[in-house]
Amino acid sequence: MGAGTLRLKIEDLRHMAIGMRKLRKDGGA
């Protein structure tokens, strides 16, 4: 269970990082 939860957290962080990059590119800031 612990390993599965950790994997989910890593996936969430990865998606968040990608979203931030997209926002920065779109915003131009």
pLDDT tens for each residue of 1-29 = 578 899 999 999 999 999 999 888 877 65
pLDDT score recorded for residue 28: 63
Q: Is the pTM of this model over 0.75?
A: no
Residue with tokens 């962080």: 13
Question: Would you state the pLDDT for residue 3?
Answer: 81
Query: What does the alpha-carbon distance between residue 8 and residue 25 come to, in Å, rounded to a whole number?
Result: 26
